[in-house]
Amino acid sequence: MDPWVQRQAAEIARRAERELEALVAVSSPSGDVHGAEECAAVCAALLPADAQVERPACSSPGHAPDLLARVGGTGTRRILLLGHVDTVVAHEHHKPLRRDGEQLLGSGTVDMKGGVVLALGALRALTERRADYAEAALLLVCDEEWRTAAFAHTERFAGFDACLCFEGGARTPEGEEGVVVRRKAAGTLRVRARGRAAHSGSAPDRGRNALLALAAAAQAVAGCHDPSGPDHLTAVPTVMHAGDAFNVVPGEGELVSDMRADSSDAFERVTAAIPEEVGGATLHPEMVRLWPGMDSTDATVGLLERASAALGRPVAAMRRGGASDASHFAAAIPVTVDGLGPRGGAAHNPDEYVVEESFATRAAVALAVAQAALSP
Same domain membership, residue 248 and residue 213: yes
Name the burial class of residue 101, with classes exposed (0-12), middle (13-18) and buried (19+) by CB atoms within 10 angstroms of its CB: exposed
Give CA torsion, residues 98, 320, 149, 287, to 10 deg: -120
Strand, coil or helix: 228: coil
**pLDDT on residue 154:** 97
The Cα 224–Cα 261 span in angstroms is 11
- Are 218 and 233 in contact, with CB atoms under 8 Å apart? no
Dump pLDDT digits (tens) for 66-120.
Answer: 999 999 999 999 999 999 999 999 999 999 999 999 999 999 999 999 999 999 9
The Cα 324–Cα 168 span in angstroms is 11
What is 199-224 written as a DSSP string?
A: ETTT-GGGSB-HHHHHHHHHHHHHHT
What pLDDT band is residue 376 in, cutting at 50, 70 and 90?
confident
Same domain membership, residue 312 and residue 284: no
Which of 79-88, 317-326, 360-369 is predicted with the least confidence, judged by mean pLDDT?
A: 317-326
Same domain membership, residue 310 and residue 251: no
Same domain membership, residue 98 and residue 84: yes
Percentage with pLDDT > 70 across the chain: 100
315-331: average pLDDT: 93
Q: Partners of 165 in the beta sheet?
A: 82
Amino acid at 33: V
Given its phi and psi angles, is residue 31 left (phi above 0), alpha (psi -120 to 50 degrees) or beta?
left
The Cα 226–Cα 86 span in angstroms is 30
Dump pLDDT digits (tens) for 226-237.
Answer: 999 999 999 999
Please give the backbone phi and psi of residue 20, each rounded to the nearest 5 degrees, phi first.
-65, -40
DSSP state of 246: T
Dump pLDDT digits (tens) for 170-202.
Answer: 999 999 999 999 999 999 999 999 999 999 999
108-134: average pLDDT: 98
> Among residues 275, 290, 305, which one ends one of the domains?
290
346-373: average pLDDT: 97
Residue 146 has pLDDT above 90, yes or no: no
Q: How many CB atoms lie within 10 A of CB 158?
A: 11
- Are 351 and 60 in contact, with CB atoms under 8 Å apart? no
| Nearest by Cα to 16 from 122, 151, 89 | 122
Same domain membership, residue 170 and residue 115: yes
CA distances from residue 303 to 119, 146, 161, 292, 314 in whole angstroms, order as listed:
19, 31, 11, 23, 12
| Nearest by Cα to 251 from 216, 209, 293 | 209
Domain that holds residue 189: 185-290
Dump pLDDT digits (tens) for 5-58.
Answer: 999 999 999 999 999 999 999 999 999 999 999 999 999 999 999 999 999 999
- Alpha-carbon Rg for the chain in angstroms: 23
Calculate the average pLDDT of the chain. Answer: 97
Residue 322 has pLDDT above 80, yes or no: no
What pLDDT band is residue 329 in, cutting at 50, 70 and 90?
very high
The Cα 10–Cα 241 span in angstroms is 49
Same domain membership, residue 286 and residue 198: yes
**pLDDT on residue 245:** 96
> Among residues 290, 320, 338, which one ends one of the domains?
290
* Runs of H (alpha helix) within 134-231: 154-157, 210-223
**pLDDT on residue 88:** 95
For position 193, which CATH number holds? 3.30.70.360
The Cα 223–Cα 253 span in angstroms is 21
For position 39, which CATH number holds? 3.40.630.10
Same domain membership, residue 85 and residue 132: yes
The total number of structural domains in the chain stands at: 2
**pLDDT on residue 321:** 83
Percentage with pLDDT > 90 across the chain: 98
**pLDDT on residue 283:** 98
> Among residues 259, 290, 321, which one ends one of the domains?
290
| Nearest by Cα to 88 from 20, 29, 23, 166 | 29
Same domain membership, residue 178 and residue 266: no
Same domain membership, residue 86 and residue 206: no
Same domain membership, residue 8 and residue 155: yes
Same domain membership, residue 34 and residue 21: yes
Same domain membership, residue 283 and residue 303: no
The Cα 366–Cα 345 span in angstroms is 19
- Are 196 and 287 in contact, with CB atoms under 8 Å apart? no
